[in-house]
Amino acid sequence: MRSRLLKMEDEDGNEGCFVEDFFGSLPEGFVAKALSLTSPRDACRLSLVCSLFRSAAEWDAVWESFLPLNYQKIVAEAEDGGCSLSFSSKKQLYLRLCDHPLIIDGGNKSFSLDKHTGKKCYMLAARDLSIVWGDTPRYWRWISSPESRFAEVAELISVCWFEVHGRISTSMLSPNTTYAAFIVFKSTSETYGFEYQPAEVSIGISGLETQTQTVLLEPEAEQRRRYPVVPRRRMGMYHRRHLPNPTAPVTPISNSNGPKQREDGWLEIELGEYYIEKGGEGELEMSMTEVKGGNWKGGLLIQGIEIRPKPCKS
């Protein structure tokens, strides 16, 4: 829109004058109301059209419309009571909530906004998850990590049965929105046991049918599964070669659903996506399990499960 408008010329050939003259006659409040009916991303784009749009795009009424209806309650219930939120405008508050998640629910969750849409985002801390054997020190332990937004993360010592579940009420999420869930974790130099056996991930409303798929937790794991290292006896010596393992059929797995690096230095794997309908009630349940391989595994750090709007394809 901007490029088309700015190329307009008046009868004297002065480019852009038509834009200023046309929009300059509109009341600024009218423009602000129109911008409030768009999205945060569109409001920022339209602010480049002319000085009137730029001024209207700073109105508190515009950015108030992009904030959740219950944002004041969420801010008030933050771990520090919202004291860390210092802002001179609703736009500054909006951007603060996008870039700096609030710790809520007694430190068990974080809340933020998607910068492009203003939709709600949450992360469930590891302490808010259901982890099988999570309270047994020989299998899991709870430690602090300076890179985590939460006070504690779960460190996997060694388990044969790996199972992690998270739940969140759909009423907490933005309606009419497709959400994706991600488990947020780190591999360490001690990580082992996830090389060959895929994990199963799922998402859906608790008690109803869920969407299930398989993923690999290690970036190079697909190559290792297709060409595992097996011993071969030759000349009295054992040699290791990459050969297909006929006893372990390869399950088709999407290469796009492996670990992805996050800006905060952690890794994430998508557990699936789910459309939240307006007025729908229930608990959205997400899980990751690896219970079929029979092998022991350990060395992961789990920060939590993040639920955020899936980007629109445009």
Domain ranges of the chain: 19-65, 103-309
Q: Rounded CA gap, 148 and 306, in Å? A: 13
Range with lowest mean pLDDT among 35-39, 212-216, 241-245: 241-245
Residues 221-277: tens digit of each pLDDT:
544 544 444 444 433 333 333 333 333 333 444 445 689 999 999 999 999 999 999
Q: What is the H or E stretch that residue 199 is in?
A: strand 199-205
Per-residue DSSP letters for 123-172? EEEGGGSEETTTT-TTTEEEE--TTSSSS-EEEE--BSSEEEEEEEEGGG
Q: Residue 60 — very low, low, confident or very high, per pLDDT cuts 50/70/90?
A: very high
Q: Which residue has the higher pLDDT, 240 or 213?
A: 213
Mean pLDDT of 7-19: 52
Mean pLDDT of 78-90: 74
State the residue for tokens 């937790």: 217
Q: Which of 52, 103, 114, 50 is nearest to 78 (CA)?
A: 103
Q: Residue 13 — very low, low, confident or very high, per pLDDT cuts 50/70/90?
A: low
Mean pLDDT of 300-304: 97
Residue 243: predicted pLDDT? 33
Q: Rounded CA gap, 177 and 229, in Å? A: 45
Tell me the CB-side half-sphere exposure of residue 93, using CA atoms within 13 A. Answer: 21
For 103-309, which CATH superfamily applies?
Answer: Galactose-binding domain-like (2.60.120.260)
Burial class (CB in 10 A: 0-12, 13-18, 19+), 83: exposed
Q: How many residues does the chain have?
A: 314
Residue 15: predicted pLDDT? 53
Q: Residue 189 — very low, low, confident or very high, per pLDDT cuts 50/70/90?
A: confident
